[in-house]
Chain A
Amino acid sequence: MRNFMAIFNRELKSYFSSPIAYVVIGLFLLISGVFYYLIVSNFVQVCMRADMQAQMYRMAPPKLNVNMMAIRPILHNMSLFALFFLPLITMRLYSDEKKTGTIELLMTSPVTNLQTILGKFSAGAVLYLVMLLATSIFMILLFIFGKPELGPVLTGYLGLFLLGLSYIAFGLFFSSLTDNQIVAAVSTVAFILFFWAIGWVSGFVSPALGGIFENFSLIGHFDDFAKGVLDTKHIVFYLSFITMGLFLSNISIESARWRGK
């Protein structure tokens, strides 16, 4: 636990003592904010038009659902942006240690690989949590000016968090494979995109196979969260995915030791 905390603290401090954390959080907020603005202003226009029509025909104004029409697409957008930003956070976790040689310090200190992996993973997770909390300002605005349901927002954020942790776990794995940060980041994005897209092909293959593919789709499991449905099967999926990423990281580090890389 002590070792884990030492690694975790060092990583977290290193994020916030370099520009990387601020740049990533800033850009993530900026892009999410732009799309938030577009989606919300579009929603407001649709509402106003509907109101006008209702007045014209002397009908009661329709109830448009802000959760469905604004919050859900906003969450989906953020899940995509996270895919491109989180690898920028994870790429250095191991690659940099390999490049500068500090890995020799870690791997000759009485710290287990698992403690190191969990420490690094948790530091990335906390940084991501900060990112998500920063975006909650968008949601707070919606609550001030409208009456969305709270439930789907909370499950949506839980889904976003779990999805992001999956990115981070595999980002860590790809970082453990190479001393080149760019290679680590690009392979992470490619890998995650593959697990996104795996759900799309399910429409083109036999239903049995399609069902399997859909089960592995990273984003497929997110839909229910965004809709406000909390289903343990999705939670279990993400937790398994995360565990797999961390487990592979451990294997990769141990095998690099044997190969002398």
Chain B
Amino acid sequence: MIEVQQITRFFGRVKAVDNVSFQVEKGEILGFLGPNAAGKTTTMRILTTYLPATHGRATVAGYNVHTDSMKVREHIGYMPENPPLYQEMRVIDFLNFVAKIKGVGAKNIGSAVTEVMGKTDIENVKNRVIKQLSKGYKQRVGLAQALVHNPDVLILDEPTVGLDPKQIIEVRELIKSLAGDHTIILSTHILPEVSMTCERVVIIDKGKVVAEDTPDNLTKALAGAERLNLVVKGPKDKIAEKLTSLQDINLITSTARKNDLVNIQIESKTKEDSRPLIAKTIIDSGWDLYELKSEGVSLEDVFLHVTTREEGTGQ
């Protein structure tokens, strides 16, 4: 549905986007993750035909963003970082206007607007002037304008930024409910957002794609550095010694608790799940195993890992 091939964009001498390529399949939600100034907005603006790329090629819904921009525009709904709202208009008038310029047929405008107000849950404010709405409602009106013509592709630039926690959850739920019918690209600098809403992630940093996969695979790829928490009954130092003698296991901390219980945290770099081996080792040594838990790797770790490696300071 979306194909990006080696896109580069300069602003003067600043290379905001550097040879970025990726694809999005029909019906997929792609998370576009990166810190501030990574080039997320610029990439999205290129896909929405707002900005031309300096080099490279991109197609959306089968149309080239550069040579067929009007066709592309018919097939996309775009919510920029700041929702583009005419503050002095009433919600319903604004959505009618957007429906018109998005090419919704005159007969269908009424029903399209009603439907999108239902989807985004803004019917109760439809007669209010936009500037009097709360930030959360403005964000929904922003989503509604992107959705009103029922586009194949939705491009959402940091859709939850500036919202309070309750609103964030609501907007995420809304976005998830849109998947399937629409192909979605969603940018964010918030990690949990991606694992919660997206099926696939492209991580971008300083204009470059540094990783691309499902949130699960990305965290697994970094595994090898899986963390395990254990509670064992036995002598603290001996347990630590025994565990570290195993291959690919490093001790992080061990602290003694009451009743001979010991809390142990280890890092496992084994290919396979090391939990059975560890359990067996402890039982065979005659100690009691009370708890054995894998912490997994958070997307946070992945993110730090790929971005610091990029700088050459990390591994």
Residues of A within 8 A of B (CB): 2-3, 6-7, 10, 13-14, 17-18, 100-112, 257-258, 260
Q: Evaluate whether A14 and B101 lie within 8 angstroms (CB atoms) in the complex, with A108-B78, A258-B52 already known.
A: no
Question: In the complex, how many angstroms separate the beta carbon of A45 from the nearest chain B beta carbon?
Answer: 48
State whether A108 touches B101 (Cβ < 8 A).
no
The CA of A106 and the CA of B9, in the complex, are separated in Å by 22
How many A-B contacts at CB < 8 Å in the complex? 71
Q: Can you list 14 A-B pairs, Cβ within 8 angstroms, ordered by A?
A: A2-B100, A3-B101, A7-B101, A14-B88, A105-B145, A108-B50, A108-B76, A108-B78, A109-B98, A109-B101, A110-B74, A110-B101, A111-B101, A257-B52
List CB contacts (< 8 Å) of B41-97 with chain A.
42, 45, 48-52, 70-71, 73-74, 76, 78, 80, 82-89, 93, 97
Residues of chain A contacted by B76 (CB below 8 angstroms): 108
Q: Evaluate whether A109 and B102 lie within 8 angstroms (CB atoms) in the complex, with A10-B97, A257-B52, A260-B11 already known.
A: yes
The CA of A13 and the CA of B84, in the complex, are separated in Å by 18
The CA of A10 and the CA of B93, in the complex, are separated in Å by 9
3 cross-chain pairs, A with B, having the tightest CB-CB distances, nearest first = A105-B84, A6-B100, A110-B73
State whether A108 touches B51 (Cβ < 8 A).
no
The CA of A14 and the CA of B78, in the complex, are separated in Å by 23
The CA of A172 and the CA of B303, in the complex, are separated in Å by 46
State whether A104 touches B100 (Cβ < 8 A).
no
Q: Evaluate whether A105 and B74 lie within 8 angstroms (CB atoms) in the complex, with A17-B88, A257-B52 already known.
A: no
State whether A104 touches B78 (Cβ < 8 A).
yes
Residues of B within 8 A of A (CB): 9, 11, 42, 45, 48-52, 70-71, 73-74, 76, 78, 80, 82-89, 93, 97-98, 100-103, 106, 145
State whether B88 touches A102 (Cβ < 8 A).
no
Q: Evaluate whether A108 and B11 lie within 8 angstroms (CB atoms) in the complex, with A17-B88, A101-B82, A102-B85 already known.
A: no
Q: Evaluate whether A100 and B84 lie within 8 angstroms (CB atoms) in the complex, with A108-B78, A257-B51 already known.
A: yes
The CA of A260 and the CA of B9, in the complex, are separated in Å by 10
Question: In the complex, how many angstroms separate the beta carbon of B191 from the nearest chain A beta carbon?
Answer: 26
Of all chain B residues, which has the CB nearest A96?
Answer: B86
Q: Evaluate whether A102 and B86 lie within 8 angstroms (CB atoms) in the complex, with A2-B100, A6-B101 already known.
A: yes
The CA of A234 and the CA of B89, in the complex, are separated in Å by 40
B84, B93, B145: the one within 8 Å of A101 (CB): B84
State whether A100 touches B52 (Cβ < 8 A).
no
The CA of A101 and the CA of B85, in the complex, are separated in Å by 8
Residues of chain A contacted by B145 (CB below 8 angstroms): 105
State whether B73 touches A108 (Cβ < 8 A).
yes
Residues of chain A contacted by B102 (CB below 8 angstroms): 109-110
State whether A14 touches B86 (Cβ < 8 A).
yes
Residues of chain B contacted by A17 (CB below 8 angstroms): 88
Question: In the complex, how many angstroms separate the beta carbon of B297 from the nearest chain A beta carbon?
Answer: 37
State whether A105 touches B70 (Cβ < 8 A).
no
Of all chain B residues, which has the CB nearest A105?
Answer: B84
Residues of chain B contacted by A111 (CB below 8 angstroms): 101
The CA of A154 and the CA of B11, in the complex, are separated in Å by 52
A18, A103, A106, A112: the one within 8 Å of B70 (CB): A112
Question: In the complex, how many angstroms separate the beta carbon of A98 from the nearest chain B beta carbon?
Answer: 11
Residues of chain A contacted by B93 (CB below 8 angstroms): 13
State whether B86 touches A106 (Cβ < 8 A).
no
Of all chain B residues, which has the CB nearest A115?
Answer: B101
The CA of A3 and the CA of B45, in the complex, are separated in Å by 22
State whether B50 touches A257 (Cβ < 8 A).
yes
17 new A-B contacts, CB < 8 A, other than A6-B100, A101-B84, are: A14-B86, A14-B88, A100-B82, A100-B85, A102-B86, A103-B84, A105-B78, A105-B98, A108-B49, A108-B76, A110-B70, A110-B101, A110-B102, A110-B103, A112-B70, A257-B50, A260-B42
Residues of chain B contacted by A3 (CB below 8 angstroms): 100-101
Of all chain A residues, which has the CB nearest B81?
Answer: A101
State whether A6 touches B11 (Cβ < 8 A).
no
Residues of chain B contacted by A6 (CB below 8 angstroms): 97, 100-101
Question: In the complex, how many angstroms separate the beta carbon of B69 from the nearest chain A beta carbon?
Answer: 9
State whether A104 touches B84 (Cβ < 8 A).
yes
The CA of A102 and the CA of B79, in the complex, are separated in Å by 11
The CA of A18 and the CA of B103, in the complex, are separated in Å by 27
Residues of chain B contacted by A107 (CB below 8 angstroms): 49-50
Of all chain B residues, which has the CB nearest A103?
Answer: B84
**Which residue, of B52, B88, B97, B100, has the highest number of chain A Cβ atoms within 10 A?**
B100
State whether A260 touches B73 (Cβ < 8 A).
no
Residues of chain B contacted by A104 (CB below 8 angstroms): 45, 48, 50, 78, 80, 84
Residues of chain B contacted by A100 (CB below 8 angstroms): 82, 84-87
Of all chain A residues, which has the CB nearest B94?
Answer: A10
Residues of chain A contacted by B52 (CB below 8 angstroms): 257-258
The CA of A101 and the CA of B97, in the complex, are separated in Å by 16
Residues of chain A contacted by B9 (CB below 8 angstroms): 260
The CA of A101 and the CA of B11, in the complex, are separated in Å by 19
